[in-house]
């Protein structure tokens, strides 16, 4: 059985009723033979006909077969079930849409341990949407004709829309796939093509006379592509794409696996970067895991309409165009970084997720956490100057520290009792906390031990499923070979405190300056500090630095045990003199915050303000993040946080500077609609003015040094802030740059605005401009052939202050066949919600049109949740929150699949409101004093 410990404990009470959403488990599929023919033609409503033969084994004797199907017309009369000696009779079959369960009843029992062949014919019409087998389209530049393609997105629960199947990750089987399609199209699937024939492969059930009634073309125009039998895999990894795309091959010497990158013919020249990065990263992972990639080929396809960023289907990875395609003259450096990161992430999944799969979605973090972590290593390997290993780790930790400080956060290993809510778990906790905890393990175990244990885990569970305890066992075993962890603690003991509990600890350190010692306590850090403390506690890895050994990164790791520092203080000795600072978590090993006594904070402030480089970079990040968070929850005086931030005037590293700015953005978020915003802007202008000019600013002449990610990011971030904070000249420069673009002869080919500054420049110009600028941007968007460029323009359109235009734009976002593709709808609505005037427009829109928004997202809870979050995290008054809560009473049915996000959003709003009541006046006073 596939339950993590936590899950069975929580569900013990209502075990019987709570598992009705699962398949009964008495039948196991071993092989699927899937044959489907699609008419990829809007005039015939995209009809399809299919037949699936499933080889099954009865684990227990049963007279019922239960599997999944959704949006399929199943020809009940055609269902057959054949045993080794005879055929059974189907007495009834019915579909229940609650959990998409299709039940077939038989005239007698299937015998235990016997194999049968189950045949189910099905047909239907593809519907609009971004999951299951779905339709995407684009307009060819040359012919101006709208071309269609079909693609699949089966994760998490949509394989059942493709063909009847046992659609849970535990039911691994092999697949033989045959796709029939018009001969102008090309089909690709997980495995290589074996044969392409003109013979109708469905003829054992469907006759062509029947099919041809709804098809637009004659039989002779169809081809049948059959693909090699796959390795055993979960249903959610099955994939195919049928399109008129072109492809490029990767340079052959980079990998023994044959790579092809597919895209619209108009965009195929943007595939070169992916063609180079893909095989390099794959080869690197094969070495790192010491497990070779088991498939002969890897196709990667850029789909014009795509729900997520990308999908790791085994051997056929599908991407949104922005995540795979890169154009030197149109994409920014950040776009390039994203392409590398997403490719590495998806390739890491080929091991974590595809080869070894979680038993149930509760352990999704095993997939996503590993892919996220390995992506940072993969990118660091192919683009070493980017420091991806360090930079992504910081991004991940900081975002975990924010979300996981809410009571309404959730544990990494999370119970899921309704498959419709799986979508919501694809969140920062699974991806980023998962990744952060894995990085933490590499640091306390050592990379060598970690790699060895992973190798064992991957080999032992190949083509099977695993849960987190299986991983802990392998890690403990290897660690013990090497002498074990300090204090003889097991990996499971440590990790359970991090993966089964929500949140993370705040350590409070107080020094005894005469004894060279300090004491530590731990308790959960919560954004609403007034709430009663919880009883959670953690095994916390500690590495303590002091001023005199700041450059030595080899201090051993010590542990604060889960029972230590909870009710009493825990005492440590250390070697720091009274006039030296001490510092915890200097390399951000784990997600926790640290508070110090006032004396130590003052020593740290003095060090930063005299020579900030004497404190390591990641330590500066941690200090800034902690100081502002603790001040936010009134556990530290704002004077300390703001004095610490004062050193940022001289900070030239992107990581600490952006951390400080993000912390300030939290304050900005709650006072930007108050009379105090001016004081805030003045303070920030003083802080970043000089760095902005030094980094290059928005000056037309200064060209960004394209190889140095730190400078690019510094210039991009400081420019955006400088314009928002009204640094003199910033907006004027932006408007001037934009004007020169509008006056260019062929603006679609010639854009004088530096690539990495385009988002800022566009947004300033549209926001300060009129309908003229807006229309210009819209026209450029319509002609954009590079998705990343189109994205920047799409975003710029949300920056206008014209209420009627914003209303129109929001309308487009939820309407088919408009300027906004369904895949971009949520991003557009969120972006409008975040803009100055747009906030008010979006609020009304969400309240009045929730039903249409809900329908537009087609039960993707995650998208709707993101929109509600964007709205509520900007609430600053109880009146706004009350209004929402009242509205929710009558609209809760639309928010069902976004419960988690809605609760988090409400908590965020509550936190903001409490902060303003308590801190607004005093903080604004300090900002005024400090910017005198």
Does 438 bind Zn ion (CB under 5 A)? Our answer is no
User: What Å distances lie between residue 386 and 378, 695, 710, CA to CA?
Assistant: 11, 18, 8
- Residue 855 interaction partner, one of Zn ion, ligand NAG, none, beta carbon < 5-8 Å per kind: none
- Closest approach of ligand NAG to the CB of residue 293, in Å: 14
Residues facing residue 104 across a β-bridge: 65, 93
Task: With CB under 5 A as the rule, give the number of residues binding Zn ion.
Answer: 2
Does 96 bind ligand NAG (CB under 6 A)? Our answer is yes
Instruction: For the chain, give percent helix, strand, coil, nearest 5.
Output: 50, 20, 30
**Per-residue burial over 805-840, b = 16 or more CB atoms within 10 Å of its CB, e = otherwise:** bbeebbebbbeeeebbbbbbbbbbbbbbbbbeebbe
CB closer to ligand NAG out of 113 and 210: 113
Residue with CB nearest Zn ion?
371
CB closer to ligand NAG out of 41 and 708: 41
651 is catalytic: no
* Residue (of 203, 208, 181) closest to 193 by Cα position: 181
Does 371 bind Zn ion (CB under 5 A)? Our answer is yes
Which range in 129-137, 332-340, 370-378, 448-456 contacts Zn ion by CB under 5 A?
A: 370-378
Select from 8, 61, 91, 113 the one that contacts ligand NAG (CB under 6 A).
113
Cα 796 from Cα 191, distance rounded (Å): 41
Kindly give, in sequence order, each residue whose CB lies less than 8 Å from that of residue 235, ignoring residues fewer than 6 positions away: 154, 159, 160, 165, 166, 167, 168, 169, 171
Does 112 bind ligand NAG (CB under 6 A)? Our answer is yes
- Residue 371 interaction partner, one of Zn ion, ligand NAG, none, beta carbon < 5-8 Å per kind: Zn ion
Kindly give, in sequence order, each residue whose CB lies less than 8 Å from that of residue 920, ignoring residues fewer than 6 positions away: 670, 671, 674, 676
Task: With CB under 6 A as the rule, give the number of residues binding ligand NAG.
Answer: 12
Q: What binding mask, one character per residue, do residues 329-368 give for Zn ion by CB under 5 A, x or -?
A: ---------------------------------------x
CB closer to ligand NAG out of 20 and 690: 20
DSSP class of residue 852?
Answer: H
Strands (E), 390-502: 464-466
Residues facing residue 542 across a β-bridge: 558
Q: What binding mask, one character per residue, do residues 874-903 give for ligand NAG by CB under 6 A, x or -?
A: ------------x---x-------------
Q: In what order do the strands lie in the sheet with 101-110?
A: 62-68, 101-110, 90-96
CB closer to Zn ion out of 370 and 809: 370
CB closer to ligand NAG out of 66 and 709: 66
CB closer to ligand NAG out of 85 and 890: 890
Select from 28, 31, 127, 920 the one that contacts ligand NAG (CB under 6 A).
127
- Residue 488 interaction partner, one of Zn ion, ligand NAG, none, beta carbon < 5-8 Å per kind: ligand NAG
- Residue 218 interaction partner, one of ligand NAG, Zn ion, none, beta carbon < 5-8 Å per kind: none
CB closer to ligand NAG out of 143 and 890: 890
Q: What is the DSSP string of 302-358?
A: EESS-SSSEE--TTEEEEEHHHH---TTTS-HHHHHHHHHHHHHHHHHTTBTTTEEE
CB 70 within 8 A of CB 48: no
DSSP class of residue 47?
Answer: E
Select from 84, 488, 610, 746 the one that contacts ligand NAG (CB under 6 A).
488
Among residues 321, 346, 474, 580, the one annotated as catalytic is 346
Does 45 bind ligand NAG (CB under 6 A)? Our answer is yes
* Residue (of 388, 404, 834, 434) closest to 655 by Cα position: 388
Does 425 bind Zn ion (CB under 5 A)? Our answer is no
- Closest approach of Zn ion to the CB of residue 358, in Å: 12
CB closer to ligand NAG out of 112 and 531: 112
User: What Å distances lie between residue 512 and 93, 455, 582, 595, 605, CA to CA?
Assistant: 75, 45, 12, 15, 19
Q: Kindly identify the residues of this chain, within the stretch 3-22, that bind ligand NAG according to CB under 6 A.
A: 20
Cα 829 from Cα 649, distance rounded (Å): 35
Q: Which two tokens stand for residue 229?
A: 């039998």
- Report the interface residues with ligand NAG, using CB under 6 A: 20, 45, 96, 98, 112-113, 125, 127, 290, 488, 886, 890
Q: Looking at the annotation, which residues are catalytic?
A: 346
- Report the interface residues with Zn ion, using CB under 5 A: 368, 371
């Amino acid at each position: 059985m596939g339950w993590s410990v936590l899950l069975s404990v929580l569900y013990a009470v209502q075990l019987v009723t709570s598992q009705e959403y699962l398949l009964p488990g008495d039948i196991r599929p071993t092989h699927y033979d899937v044959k489907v023919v699609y008419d990829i033609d809007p005039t015939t409503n995209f009809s399809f006909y299919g037949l699936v033969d499933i080889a099954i084994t009865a684990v227990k004797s049963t007279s019922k077969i239960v599997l999944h199907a959704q949006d399929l017309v199943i020809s009940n009369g055609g269902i057959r079930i054949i045993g080794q000696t005879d055929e059974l009779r189907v007495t009834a079959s019915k579909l229940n849409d609650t959990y998409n369960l299709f039940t077939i009843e038989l005239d007698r029992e299937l015998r235990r341990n016997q194999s049968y062949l189950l045949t189910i014919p099905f047909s239907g019409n593809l519907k609009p949407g971004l999951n299951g087998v779905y339709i995407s389209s684009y307009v060819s530049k040359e012919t101006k004709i709208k071309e269609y393609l079909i693609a699949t997105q089966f994760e998490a629960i949509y394989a059942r829309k493709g063909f009847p199947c046992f659609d849970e990750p535990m039911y691994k089987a092999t697949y033989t796939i045959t796709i029939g399609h018009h001969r102008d199209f090309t089909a690709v699937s997980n495995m290589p093509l074996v044969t392409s024939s003109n013979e109708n492969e469905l003829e054992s059930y469907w006759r062509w006379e029947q099919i041809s009634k709804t098809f637009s073309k004659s039989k002779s125009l169809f081809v049948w592509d059959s693909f090699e039998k796959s390795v055993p895999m979960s249903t959610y990894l099955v994939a195919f794409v049928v399109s008129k795309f072109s492809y490029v091959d990767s340079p052959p010497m980079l990998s023994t696996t044959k790579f092809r990158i597919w895209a619209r013919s108009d965009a195929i020249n943007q595939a070169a970067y992916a063609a180079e990065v893909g095989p390099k990263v794959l080869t690197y992972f094969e070495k790192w895991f010491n497990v070779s990639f088991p498939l002969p080929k890897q196709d990667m396809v850029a789909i014009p309409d795509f729900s997520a960023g990308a999908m790791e289907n085994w051997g056929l990875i599908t991407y949104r165009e922005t995540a795979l395609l890169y154009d030197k003259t149109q994409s920014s450096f950040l776009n390039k970084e994203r392409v590398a990161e997403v490719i590495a992430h998806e390739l890491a999944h080929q091991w974590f997720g595809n080869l070894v799969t979680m038993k149930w979605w509760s352990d999704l973090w095993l997939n996503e956490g590993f892919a996220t972590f390995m992506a940072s290593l993969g990118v660091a390997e192919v683009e070493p100057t980017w420091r991806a290993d360090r930079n992504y780790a910081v991004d991940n930790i900081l975002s975990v520290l924010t979300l996981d400080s809410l009571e309404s956060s959730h544990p990494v290993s999370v119970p899921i009792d309704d498959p419709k809510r799986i979508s919501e778990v694809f969140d920062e906790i699974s991806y980023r906390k998962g990744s952060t905890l894995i990085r933490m393990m590499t640091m306390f175990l050592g990379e060598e031990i970690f790699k060895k244990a992973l190798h064992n885990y991957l080999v032992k569970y190949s083509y099977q499923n695993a849960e987190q305890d299986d991983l802990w066992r392998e890690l403990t075993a290897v660690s013990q070979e090497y002498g074990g962890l300090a204090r003889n603690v097991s990996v499971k003991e440590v990790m359970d405190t991090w993966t089964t509990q929500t949140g993370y600890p705040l350590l409070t350190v107080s020094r005894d300056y005469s004894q060279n010692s300090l004491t530590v306590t731990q308790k959960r850090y919560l954004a609403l500090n007034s709430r009663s403390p919880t009883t959670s506690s953690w095994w916390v890895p500690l590495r303590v630095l002091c001023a005199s050994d700041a450059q030595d990164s080899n201090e051993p790791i010590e542990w604060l045990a889960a029972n230590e520092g909870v009710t009493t203080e825990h005492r440590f000795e250390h070697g720091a003199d009274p006039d030296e600072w001490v510092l915890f978590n200097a390399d951000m090993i784990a997600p926790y915050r640290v508070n110090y006594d006032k004396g130590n904070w003052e020593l740290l402030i003095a060090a930063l303000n005299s020579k900030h480089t004497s404190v390591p970079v990641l330590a500066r990040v941690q200090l800034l993040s902690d100081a502002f968070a603790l001040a936010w929850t009134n556990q530290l005086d704002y004077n300390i946080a703001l004095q610490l931030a004062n050193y940022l005037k001289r900070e030239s590293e992107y990581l600490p500077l952006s951390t400080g700015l993000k912390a300030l953005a939290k304050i900005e978020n709650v006072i930007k609609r108050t009379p105090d915003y001016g004081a805030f802007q003045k303070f920030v202008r003083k802080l970043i003015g000089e760095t902005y000019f030094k980094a290059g600013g928005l000056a037309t002449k200064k060209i960004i040094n394209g190889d140095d990610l730190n400078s690019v990011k510094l210039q991009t971030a400081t420019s955006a802030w400088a314009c928002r904070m009204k640094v003199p000249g910033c907006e004027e420069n932006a408007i001037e740059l934009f004007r020169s673009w509008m006056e260019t002869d062929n603006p679609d080919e010639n854009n004088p605005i530096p690539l990495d500054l385009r988002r800022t420049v566009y947004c300033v110009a549209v926001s300060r401009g009129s309908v003229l600028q807006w229309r210009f941007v819209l026209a450029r968007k319509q002609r954009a052939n590079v998705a990343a460029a189109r994205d920047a323009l799409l975003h710029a359109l949300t920056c206008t202050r014209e209420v009627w235009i914003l209303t129109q734009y929001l309308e487009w976002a939820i309407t088919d066949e408009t300027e906004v593709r369904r895949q971009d709808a949520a991003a557009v609505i969120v972006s409008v919600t975040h803009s100055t005037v747009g906030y008010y427009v979006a609020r009304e829109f969400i309240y009045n049109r929730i039903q249409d928004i809900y329908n537009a997202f087609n039960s993707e809870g995650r998208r709707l949740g993101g929109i509600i979050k964007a709205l509520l995290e900007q609430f600053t008054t109880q009146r706004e929150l009350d209004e929402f809560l009242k509205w929710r009473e009558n609209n809760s049915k639309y928010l069902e699949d976004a419960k988690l996000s809605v609760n988090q959003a409400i908590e965020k709003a509550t936190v903001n409101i409490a902060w303003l009541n308590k801190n607004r006046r005093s903080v604004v006073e300090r900002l005024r004093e400090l910017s005198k």
